[in-house]
Amino acid sequence: MAACVLSIVTMVTQVVVVLEVRNLRSELETKLRHKEAVPDGKDFDKLRGAKAALNDPRGLPGAAGSSGRDGRDVKQPGTVSPENLACPSGYVKFQDTCFSFSNERRNHAEARCACQTTELNCQTTGGHLALPKDQATNDFLVNQIHDRYPNGDDVWFGLTDQLQEGEWAWDDGAPLGTGWTNWYTGQPDDGADGFSSAEDCARWREDSYKWDDGSCFFPRHYVCEVSAAVP
């Protein structure tokens, strides 16, 4: 009888021990999972740093304001708003472009050259004759011309068909194509009215400020442009 009771007590004890071990294992696994999911303080700092770097474009290689491989600041085009750009002395800013209005008259070739170089030190300006490619720019320039040349004057801008008759191209090399235009009625006519033998250079007409092709050899006032830049 005593042996039987001892056997039963032993079995119960073994069951209790097994249950206790299972309980401990379950608790330990829960703690381990928790530890993997929740990083310690150092890991949080690393994660915060990595996230901040991803959210801040200045922290990425080659992004605006960062240093390039050669150590110079890398400026991404289009990332600076026009109000933060500046023009050289003597230029007037419209949007992201700077314009200058000549005091003297030149033929088209001389005017084009004058817009591309500075006469003071013969350095290239990176500029060219003005390109009124849209109505807003054209309206701005026409208003300036009206105020600056009150006696009326035809004014050169950078549009010609010198390379191929009838194929108008801007002085930056882009074709006029089907882009916005502001030709005077009946223009361009390549001198068909008999006023010139050939007319390959576009100008603003003094009477209406509409576009008209004229002989490139007449000396006229002209408008130059350069891109505005970060001061």
* Sites of contact with Ca ion (CB under 5 A): 161, 187, 189-190, 199-200, 212-213
Nearest residue (CB) to Ca ion, 91 versus 168: 168
User: Which residues on adjacent β-strands are paired with residue 40?
Assistant: none
Q: How far apart are CA 157 and CA 132, in angstroms?
A: 8
Minimum distance, C-beta of residue 211 to Ca ion, in the bound complex (Å): 9
Q: Are 117 and 182 in contact (CB under 8 A)?
A: no
Nearest residue (CB) to Ca ion, 100 versus 187: 187
Minimum distance, C-beta of residue 133 to Ca ion, in the bound complex (Å): 19
* List of residues 6+ apart from 118 with CB closer than 8 A: 125
Q: Which residue is nearest to Ca ion (CB)?
A: 190
Rg of the chain over CA atoms, in angstroms?
38
Q: Are 92 and 99 in contact (CB under 8 A)?
A: yes
Minimum distance, C-beta of residue 196 to Ca ion, in the bound complex (Å): 7
Q: Are 170 and 211 in contact (CB under 8 A)?
A: no
Nearest residue (CB) to Ca ion, 140 versus 184: 184
Minimum distance, C-beta of residue 224 to Ca ion, in the bound complex (Å): 23
Minimum distance, C-beta of residue 201 to Ca ion, in the bound complex (Å): 8
DSSP summary character for residue 54: H
Residue 199 has φ and ψ, to the nearest 5°, of -130, 110
Nearest residue (CB) to Ca ion, 200 versus 225: 200
User: Which residues on adjacent β-strands are paired with residue 223?
Assistant: 101
Nearest residue (CB) to Ca ion, 80 versus 169: 169
